[in-house]
Amino acid sequence: MIDTSLLNADLHCHSDVSDGTLSPPALAARARANGVELWSLTDHDEVGGQRAARDAALALGLPYLTGCEISVSFAGETVHVIGLGFDADDPALVEGLARVRGGRERRARAMAADLARVGIGGAFEGALKHVGNPDLISRTHFARFLVDSGVCSDTHDVFRRYLTEGKPGYVPHHWAGLGEAVRWITGAGGVAVVAHPARYRFSPTAEYALFSEFHAHGGRGIEVVTGSHTAAEVATYTEIALEFGLHASRGSDFHDPRESRTDLGMLPDLPGRLRPVWELLAHRVIHP
């Protein structure tokens, strides 16, 4: 088999169909310009941008995998599971994602009410101004409102002072179950990947449970190289990938040219000891 571990794959980013700021075609053009060789748009809990992303990628000569990033509740934390290479019209997946999106507006109103208690008014309407898809109001849109209105200096400052557990504007939410999300993805012919594993605050025991249950449910991938991982975190999750027999993914998690630290395609290579997740997805890649 040809070694594809050095492929410039970027299998994680967001458009204005979720909490990114660029349209799917603008992202495709940016990925192409940055030298990406295999691309996927992975909006949160939503596949509404897939057709536009795929059509734009193919028109630019860029191979494409369908994608999404599903919000999951596991052991009291929110975990993100990326689906790649699935059939975006699969009824169980489409219905499952609609249910996960369901409570977002109610949650957003509760977040705004909590912010009002610390003197920040008009947050719901303010966040809504940044929303491209009314079904998908997220904390990122509140973060943009808090920066715009001068309450915070940037989104990093927002998530340090607001919207996270124990801080004003945080409202707990029940997302999909881990097994459910993995089944929606695999049932639609795709591969499930644990996104940005270093971002969760799990004990070693809970982290072990996450990866063993994920694997038992049929999850096959782990995002080892991603925009928010340090070199030490890449090394840590390389070992976890090998320990749990998971294939490695690579994705920037790009949201916006100013907010995101890592641009599309501008990532370190996958460590050579790992098997790339795209080896499992060769038959699902849509070629120009």
Which one of Mn ion, ligand AMP, none interacts with residue 200, CB within 5 to 8 A by kind? none
Decide if 109 contacts 126 (C-beta within 8 A). no
Q: Which is nearer to Mn ion, 180 or 223 (CB)?
A: 223
The dihedral region occupied by 227, where left means phi > 0, alpha psi between -120 and 50, and beta the remainder, is alpha
Here the tokens at position 158 are 């927002």
- Where does 141-246 show beta strands of DSSP type E? 191-194, 221-226
Which one of Mn ion, ligand AMP, none interacts with residue 66, CB within 5 to 8 A by kind? none
Q: Which is nearer to Mn ion, 200 or 208 (CB)?
A: 200
Decide if 254 contacts 29 (C-beta within 8 A). no
User: Binding of ligand AMP at residue 159 (CB under 6 A)?
Assistant: yes
Q: Which residues contact 123 (CB under 8 A, 6 or more apart)?
A: 111, 112, 115, 116, 142, 145, 146, 169
Q: Which residues contact 7 (CB under 8 A, 6 or more apart)?
A: 37, 38, 276, 278
Q: Which is nearer to ligand AMP, 62 or 146 (CB)?
A: 146
Binding range to ligand AMP, per CB under 6 A, among 30-38, 51-59, 136-144, 272-280? 136-144
Q: Which is nearer to ligand AMP, 140 or 238 (CB)?
A: 140
User: Binding of ligand AMP at residue 262 (CB under 6 A)?
Assistant: no
User: Binding of ligand AMP at residue 139 (CB under 6 A)?
Assistant: yes
Cβ 156 to ligand AMP shortest distance, Å:
6
Phi, psi of 196 (to 5 degrees): 25, 65
Which one of ligand AMP, Mn ion, none interacts with residue 250, CB within 5 to 8 A by kind? none
Site residues, ligand AMP (CB under 6 A) = 19, 44, 71, 138-140, 155-156, 159, 255
